[in-house]
């Protein structure tokens, strides 16, 4: 105030004459200030409402501030109306001064849902989300709020990149518009954590009970697309089903509602139509349900053609097809499969033909058949195994971690010392370049998709990032308080992840560091970490025998699966499906769908197998290589649990690490005895892939392998493969595009 204003105030106080105030502006100032003070002194609910209106709408900033201050003082003095009005002001106007007044005075909304919404708007998202049932309370508050408050909440959610929650509340407001379900059904549902899934299912349940068919369609789609058991349970409870006739038949069939299925698809034409148009994964699921339930009547070949391409057939499919053809004594069709099936399968087919006493109808085929029988018998007497590995030299320390560069041009080997070495591929030349890390031993490695940065972790509980153009340290990142046992870099190369014995999973900015989020699954120690092929999920295993699935974007826990009795010692992911393979001290291998949380398979390892120390999934075929504490390497089919190779015993002590090249050609293993071995998988692939999938140069390649100094075991199998490839080349035109009806499905040649 000016000196003139102060003198005028003194005259006014001494004379009580309003004319002494002089200027209109001073009179207005005193009137507004007095009005605020009078309303504050009155303290009635009506006075609180008037002050709130002044704080929001008064055109004079000083008066708005005075009204807000008065409300804050009244709230601190215990006025419940003032507390409610302050929160209402913030929710509607989102003014930072109001939030500051609430926070400074430590005010709390009497409604926990409103208090949670205030925390959502004012706290860092990670801090807010750590509160129990935070999304549940926020959703409830949002749905009962005025549109202006909903808009503020939606804007904050957009700023925090909480698209899944936005999808859910949008659906809650517009349940009968099918298009609002598209985002969450097409790609969003697998990324939802357990709380958001529960909220979404509750929203769908609410609308289904009110008669919303789009909500029922969406609920059924969660089960059909993602094999989600919670969605199925909810649908069965509410007796919800899709409106589309094809999806309805499929839903009833896969959910085992046989009476309902028979009513809508008594002649199986709908299911057959779905199967014909289905993806390979859905076809396998339909067939699995048929086998498990015994409902195979729709598989009658007379019903409809159900062609499956050779590339879709798993080992179990080959077994089913051969068994069906053998039971019906369709030897001619079995003979056709000889030229297209994996050689390991065609030898079994030959055994079936021999037992049937079948002979080809023409002389030329009989000669070839006799030759194959002889070669096949030799293969059966000579079990397939890998050739002796190449022993890589040049290292002075034991190799404790292995990784192939993404293009497959070189191998990276971390040692129990501080050195990280490189080997050229395919010549296995030891490179002069070396990275000397500031820690030892090097326990885990990760490289970005461009092959420009290498992340390494060892004994100092830190992550060290190196540039691969100059082999220099770029950044050391600290935060973990115990050994780091897993590293992964996101596909977009913006984030990398770490997990370790301190029981935490952490996300960091790549490559500069800066923690983005941290989560703790509750395991005493985390033993493994992998990132899904799509980059949206993280999978970890721990010492308490649980497999956890996390949203990579926010660290929200999606699944907690009790996988093993005791610690999980190894983890591998399929590169082509949402499947994780785990091995534990309980002597079992388990296979999981980490997107749906379902167990796919589990089997006990033979007693002569040691405890798993590492697992690696082959990139092109259904095979998992396992190293154990006895120095053995075994290979298993995760679909049926069959051993694909005899145990490889070239190492004398526990296996420490294993890696497969991106093209699947090489397996490299290291052990505590200091050995580093490179295994050539070329013949393994030749004998376990459908021959139709082999490149045109396969014939000449097999010939060159035979011409080389090959091991007798390799020679037996190569000779068998060579004769079939020659026959394929000779009769390729005759094979054409024939279809073989094989019981459950038709095989498209």
Extract the tokens encoding 47.
């006075």
pLDDT of residue 8: 54
- Contact 243/216 with Cβ under 8 angstroms? yes
Q: Pick from 63-77, 186-200, 271-285, 663-677 the range whose average pLDDT is largest.
A: 663-677
β-bridge pairing 430-436 and 526-531: unpaired
- For every residue of 190-249, DSSP letters joined together read GG--HHHHHHHHHHHHHHHHTT-HHHHHHHHHHHHHH--HHHHHHHHHHT---SSHHHHH
703 compared with 19, residue with greater pLDDT: 703
pLDDT of residue 303: 43
Q: Is the dihedral of CA 87, 89, 92, 93 positive or negative?
A: negative
Q: What is the pLDDT of residues 370-415, one digit of tens each?
A: 999 999 999 998 888 898 999 999 888 999 999 999 999 999 999 9
Say how far apart CA 670 and CA 32 lie, in whole Å. Answer: 82
Which residues have C-beta within 8 Å of that of residue 560, sequence separation ≥ 6? 521, 546, 547, 548
Which residues have C-beta within 8 Å of that of residue 113, sequence separation ≥ 6? 137, 138, 140, 141
Which of 13-27, 400-414, 424-438 shows the lowest mean pLDDT across its residues? 13-27
Say how far apart CA 657 and CA 612 lie, in whole Å. Answer: 11
Closest to 701 (Cα-Cα) out of 679, 728, 722: 722
What is the four-CA torsion angle of 338, 341, 344, 346, rounded to 10 degrees? -20
Give the model's confidence band at 538: pLDDT under 50 very low, under 70 low, under 90 confident, else very high: very high
Q: How far is CA 427 from the centre of its chain?
A: 35
Say how far apart CA 316 and CA 641 lie, in whole Å. Answer: 10
What percent of the chain lies above the pLDDT cut of 90? 51
Average pLDDT of the segment spanning 344-373:
90
Average pLDDT of the segment spanning 672-693:
91
- Contact 526/503 with Cβ under 8 angstroms? yes
What are the φ/ψ torsions at residue 40 (nearest 5 degrees)?
-65, -40
β-bridge pairing 399-404 and 546-551: unpaired
Closest to 252 (Cα-Cα) out of 198, 278, 287, 289: 289
Distances, alpha carbon 342 to alpha carbons 320, 346, 683, 705, 721, in Å = 15, 6, 12, 19, 9
In the chain, the N- to C-terminal Cα span, in Å, equals: 95
The Cβ of residue 326 has, within 10 Å, a number of other Cβ atoms equal to 18
Q: Pick from 65-79, 256-270, 670-684, 717-731 the range whose average pLDDT is largest.
A: 670-684
Give the model's confidence band at 218: pLDDT under 50 very low, under 70 low, under 90 confident, else very high: very high
Q: Is 123 helix (H, G, I), strand (E, B) or coil?
A: coil
- Contact 401/659 with Cβ under 8 angstroms? no
Say how far apart CA 390 and CA 10 lie, in whole Å. Answer: 101
pLDDT of residue 733: 40
Average pLDDT, the chain: 87
Q: How far is CA 25 from the centre of its chain?
A: 67
Residue carrying structure tokens 């080389």: 708
pLDDT of residue 83: 87
Is the pLDDT at 189 greater than 60? The verdict is yes
Average pLDDT of the segment spanning 546-564:
89
Residue carrying structure tokens 């058991």: 229
Q: Is 264 helix (H, G, I), strand (E, B) or coil?
A: helix
Q: What is the pLDDT of residues 473-524, one digit of tens each?
A: 999 999 999 999 999 999 888 899 999 999 999 999 999 888 999 999 876 7
pLDDT of residue 26: 55
557 compared with 625, residue with greater pLDDT: 625
Distances, alpha carbon 275 to alpha carbons 219, 222, 251, 281, 312, in Å = 21, 18, 13, 11, 13
Helices (H), 94-212: 96-105, 112-122, 125-129, 134-143, 147-159, 163-173, 182-183, 194-209
Is the pLDDT at 692 greater than 80? The verdict is no
Q: Is 49 helix (H, G, I), strand (E, B) or coil?
A: helix
- Name 488's bridge partners: 497
Average pLDDT of the segment spanning 520-549:
90
Average pLDDT of the segment spanning 158-187:
89
Q: What is the pLDDT of residues 34-62, one digit of tens each?
A: 777 877 778 788 878 888 787 887 787 88
pLDDT of residue 713: 83
Give the model's confidence band at 241: pLDDT under 50 very low, under 70 low, under 90 confident, else very high: very high
Q: How far is CA 504 from the centre of its chain?
A: 18
Is the pLDDT at 20 greater than 60? The verdict is no
Which residues have C-beta within 8 Å of that of residue 19, sequence separation ≥ 6? none
308 compared with 526, residue with greater pLDDT: 526
pLDDT of residue 714: 87
Is the pLDDT at 176 greater than 80? The verdict is yes
What percent of the chain lies above the pLDDT cut of 70? 90
Give the model's confidence band at 736: pLDDT under 50 very low, under 70 low, under 90 confident, else very high: very low
192 compared with 453, residue with greater pLDDT: 453
Q: Is the dihedral of CA 159, 225, 228, 523 positive or negative?
A: negative
Buried residues in 64-101 as b, exposed as e (16+ CB within 10 A): bebbbbbbbebbeeebebbbbbbbbbbbbebeebbbeb
Q: What is the pLDDT of residues 256-313, one digit of tens each?
A: 999 899 989 988 889 988 988 888 778 878 887 887 777 877 875 444 445 556 666 7
């Amino acid at each position: 105030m000016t000196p003139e204003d102060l003198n005028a105030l003194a005259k006014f106080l001494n004379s009580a004459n309003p004319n002494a105030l002089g200027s209109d502006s001073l009179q207005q100032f005193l009137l507004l200030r007095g009005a605020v003070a009078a309303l504050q002194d009155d303290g009635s609910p009506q006075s609180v409402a008037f002050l709130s209106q002044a704080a929001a709408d008064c055109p004079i900033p000083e008066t708005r501030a005075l009204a807000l201050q008065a409300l804050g003082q009244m709230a601190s003095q215990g006025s419940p109306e003032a507390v409610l009005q302050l929160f209402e002001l913030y929710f509607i106007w989102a003014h930072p001064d109001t939030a500051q007044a609430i926070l400074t005075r430590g005010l709390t909304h009497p409604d926990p849902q409103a208090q949670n919404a205030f925390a959502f708007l004012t706290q860092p998202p990670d801090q807010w989300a750590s509160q129990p049932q935070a999304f549940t309370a926020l959703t409830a508050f949002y749905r009962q709020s005025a549109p202006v408050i909903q808009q503020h909440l939606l804007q904050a959610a957009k700023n925090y990149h909480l698209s899944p929650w936005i999808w859910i509340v949008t659906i809650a407001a517009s349940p009968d518009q099918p298009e609002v379900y598209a985002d969450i059904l097409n790609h969003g549902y697998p990324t939802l954590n357990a709380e958001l899934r529960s909220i979404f299912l509750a929203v769908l349940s609410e609308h289904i009970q009110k008669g919303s068919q789009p909500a029922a369609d969406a609920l059924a789609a969660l089960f059909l697309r993602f094999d989600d058991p919670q969605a199925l349970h909810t649908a069965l409870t509410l007796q919800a089903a899709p409106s589309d006739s094809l999806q309805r038949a499929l839903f009833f069939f896969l959910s085992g509602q046989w009476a309902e299925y028979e009513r809508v698809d008594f002649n199986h034409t709908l299911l057959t139509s779905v199967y014909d148009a289905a993806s390979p994964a859905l076809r396998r699921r339909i067939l699995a349900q048929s086998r498990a339930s015994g409902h195979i009547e729709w598989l009658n070949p007379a019903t409809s053609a159900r062609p499956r391409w050779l590339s879709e057939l798993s080992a179990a499919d080959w077994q089913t097809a051969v068994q069906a053809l053998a039971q019906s004594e369709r030897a001619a069709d079995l003979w056709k499969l000889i030229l297209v099936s994996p050689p390991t399968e065609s030898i079994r087919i030959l055994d079936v033909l021999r037992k049937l006493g079948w002979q080809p109808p023409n002389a030329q085929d009989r000669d070839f058949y006799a030759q194959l029988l002889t070669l096949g018998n030799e293969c059966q007497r000579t079990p397939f195994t890998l050739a002796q590995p190449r022993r890589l030299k040049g290292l002075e320390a034991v190799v404790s971690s292995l990784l192939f560069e993404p293009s497959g041009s070189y191998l990276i080997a971390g040692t129990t010392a501080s050195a990280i070495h490189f080997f050229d591929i395919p010549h296995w030349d030891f490179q002069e370049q070396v990275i000397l890390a500031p820690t030892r031993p090097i326990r885990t490695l990760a490289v970005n998709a461009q092959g420009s940065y290498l992340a390494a972790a060892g004994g100092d509980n830190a992550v060290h990032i190196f540039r691969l153009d100059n082999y220099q340290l770029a950044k050391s990142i600290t935060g973990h308080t115990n050994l780091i046992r897993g590293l992964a870099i996101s596909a977009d190369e913006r984030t990398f992840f770490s997990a370790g014995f301190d029981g935490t999973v952490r996300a960091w900015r790549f490559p500069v560091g800066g923690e983005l989020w941290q989560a703790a699954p509750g395991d005493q120690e985390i033993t493994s970490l992998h990132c899904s092929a799509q980059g949206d999920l993280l999978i970890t295993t721990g010492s308490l025998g649980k497999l956890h699935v996390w949203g990579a974007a926010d660290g929200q826990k999606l699944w907690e699966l009790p996988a093993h009795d005791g610690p999980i010692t190894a983890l591998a992911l399929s590169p082509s499906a949402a499947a994780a393979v785990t091995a534990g001290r309980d002597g079992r291998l388990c296979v999981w769908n980490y997107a749906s949380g379902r167990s796919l398979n589990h089997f006990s390892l033979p007693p002569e197998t040691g405890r798993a120390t590492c697992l690696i999934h082959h990139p092109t075929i259904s095979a998992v290589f396992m190293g154990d504490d006895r120095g053995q390497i075994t290979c298993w089919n995760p679909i049926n649990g069959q051993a694909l190779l005899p145990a490889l015993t070239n190492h004398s002590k526990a296996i420490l690490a294993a890696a497969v090249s991106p093209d699947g050609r090489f397996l490299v293993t290291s052990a505590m005895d200091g050995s580093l071995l490179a295994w050539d998988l070329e013949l393994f692939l030749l004998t376990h892939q459908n021959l139709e999938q082999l490149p045109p140069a396969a014939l000449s390649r097999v010939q060159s392998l035979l011409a080389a100094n090959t091991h007798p075991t390799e020679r037996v199998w190569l000779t068998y493969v060579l004769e079939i490839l020659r026959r394929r080349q000779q009769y390729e035109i005759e094979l054409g595009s024939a279809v073989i009806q094989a019981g459950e499905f038709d095989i498209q040649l």
